[in-house]
Structure 1
Amino acid sequence: MSMIHFVGGEKGGVGKSVLSRLLSQYFLDNSMPYIGLDADQSHPTLSRYYQDYTRPINLDHFESIDQIMELALEEDCNILIDLPAQSERFLDRWIEENGVIEMCEEMGIKLAYWYAVDSGPDSVNLLDNFLNKYNDQFTVLVAKNQGRGTDFSTIEALTQLQNSDRESMPVYQFYIPALHAPTMQKIEKIGLSFWAAAHLKDGDVEHLGIMERQRSKVWVNKVHQTVGILLSYL
């Protein structure tokens, strides 16, 4: 059975692409069939770090977005779509005008939306609006990025996140722990996948130092443990 993973959040700079890369790495590390679709034309981050597994899509054109369903129907696979900020209206139109929710139910395709947030008020309001519209249509997983804030109490107080029951209200919340900032900056400067950040040590190729690799490995493993638990619910 295929599963479609939208990775988004209307606010920019909250870590959507980091979340997409972490999920991509999880699928690859666990030998799970996976295809990445990069919808961020101005900052194609997923294409940069996982280019062998990623292809571009253009949210302005149905013919391009249609790849999502076509790929999901071709073979059982995890389809991950890295969405840019302020893309919800384009996704809304495609879902509504094509009956995507109903089609997925008919074809046995699972849908999940991984929604990245920081601790700011804009994230609270945007997430609230999103949950009011979509939380009864597909599973929503709220990723609280501790690299972009520490106090998520306002988000956690949202009505839709209170007493969540996965049978009646498929909304989950979890933390993305912060990685040591200079280490993350070095990963991005060199252009490493998270596997390469944790394991690459060839003297002829630019790589992280031994403790930077160790920090990266511990961080990725923590996120992988959480993702594994969440995927078992879906």
Structure 2
Amino acid sequence: MSTAGTKINPIHIVGGEKGGVGKTFISRALCHYFNANGEVYALIEADSQIDDVGRIYKNQAAESHKITLSDDPKRSTEPDVILDTAGKTTALVNLPSNTQAVLDRWMARTNLLQLMEDRLGGNRLVKWFVSDGCHESMRQLDQSIFALDGSIPHIVVLNRGRLHNVNFSYLQSKGLYQRAKAQKNFVAEIEFPALENSVQYFIDENELTLDAAREKIAEEQGILAEQRIVTFVEDFSKAFDSAIARLEEFWDTPNIVGSGAGESSDGNDASQESEDGNSPDGHRNTKVEMAEAQS
């Protein structure tokens, strides 16, 4: 892309490293959310073999791309399409599990974050870190939050659809998670609602957008099944509204990330959250509580 006079558009990266946490469904929910709000976006499917987001939403995106994230030198420039696309419109990147390190190396190699700050109007990157709340996922979050000197803003999505407990309140006593929350680049925490298993299966089986699923399920299963999708969409849309409002405030605050981050997961000096919910630097963490979708 030509950088002359260009201001970068937002780059939304949906990841989480651990498999089975629901990244795909949350990427599809973001596609629906952007469409519903008139947000023009490009979809970049980094899981090119499965393409389970692009297969359903590519016709609703302004453009779509498939890339493979790999350390193979022959593929080293494939992620360049992310920046090229963001020069034109909002970019939504769906990451498969175990690929964040490859993407981080690409960003480090290209000095992407500094390029955005110096020539493209600022860092407009955000990672939606999807989690089921298990220890391994928290460990991956700890690594992610400190990557690239803590320069990538994070929205943590606690997925109720993958929750193996009553709620996520137990995380408030877990030091690993509290250390992540205390960092400046921890922008917001939201809870993504659960959808009844049979309804989600219907959507996946028929490879439907949420709008199309609502119409089809009403015809085949009746108004209550349709209402479950309506309530689900309303709930996650409220959560996304809150997270994006916090993100835009965060982006508009200069020099909020970078050198202020604590030590990495193998260090000993990462800052801790105080008893009143504020990190030692005074940055307030945002948690959006949601009611689980009706089933």
Instruction: Trace 1:42-121 onto structure 2 (pairs within 5 A).
Output: 42-52=49-59, 53=61, 54-60=64-70, 61-73=75-87, 75=88, 77-106=89-118, 107-108=120-121, 109-121=123-135
Matches within 5 A, 1:214-233: 214-233=227-246
Q: What is the Cα deviation at residue 136 of structure 1?
A: 2.8
Whether 1:141 and 2:155 are equivalent positions in the alignment is yes
The 1:138/1:181 distance shift into structure 2, 3 A limit, reads same
TM-score (norm 2): 0.71
Does the 8 A contact of 2:12 with 2:91 survive in 1? yes
Contact 2:141–2:180 under 8 Å retained in 1: no
Q: Is the 8 A contact 2:40 2:90 kept in 1?
A: yes
Over residues 141-196 of structure 1, what are the superposed CA-to-partner deviations in whole Å (9 max), with x where a residue is unaligned?
Answer: 110001101343454432334457xxx44431110010011110111111111121
8 Å CA contact 1:2, 1:110 repeated in 2: yes
1:169–1:86 Cα change, 3 Å: closer
| Alignment match, 2:199 | 183
C-alpha distance in 1 between matches for 2:101 and 2:180? 23
Q: Secondary structure at the match of 2:150?
A: coil
**TM-score, structure 1 normalization:** 0.88
Deviation at 1:15, TM superposition (A): 0.4
Change beyond 3 A, Cα 1:225–1:171: same
> CA separation in 2, counterparts of 1:70 and 1:10?
24
Alignment of 1:141-220 (within 5 A): 141-149=155-163, 150=165, 151-153=167-169, 155-156=171-172, 157=174, 158-162=177-181, 168-200=184-216, 209-220=222-233
Question: How many angstroms does 1:228 deviate by?
Answer: 1.2
Tell me if 1:4 matches 2:23: no
Query: 1:87 is matched by which residue type in structure 2?
Result: T
Q: In the aligned structure 1, how far is the partner of 2:161 from the partner of 2:217?
A: 26
Q: Is 1:104–1:111's contact at 8 Å kept on the other side of the alignment?
A: no
Counterpart contact for 1:136–1:170, Cα < 8 Å = no
What SS class does the counterpart of residue 241 from structure 2 fall into?
A: helix
Quick check: which has more Rg, 1 or 2?
2
Bigger shift: 142-151 or 191-200?
191-200
Deviates more, 1:85-94 or 1:57-66: 57-66
Unaligned runs of 5+ residues in structure 1 are none
Contact preservation (8 Å) 2:154, 2:185: no
- Give secondary structure in 2 for the equivalent of 1:7: strand
Query: Unaligned 5+ residue runs, structure 2?
Result: 1-7, 248-295
**Counterpart amino acid of 1:217?**
V
Distance in 2 of aligned mates of 1:154 and 1:134:
29
Shift in CA distance, 97/194, structure 1 to aligned 2, threshold 3 Å:
same
Instruction: Indicate the SS of the match to 1:63.
Output: coil
* CA distance in 2: counterparts of 1:28 and 1:46, whole angstroms: 14
Identity %: 28
Give me the CA root mean square deviation.
Answer: 2.1
Q: Is the 8 Å Cα contact of residues 41 and 91 (structure 2) preserved in structure 1? A: yes
**Aligned residues, how many?**
226
CA distance in structure 1 between the aligned counterparts of 2:78 and 2:185, rounded to whole angstroms: 31
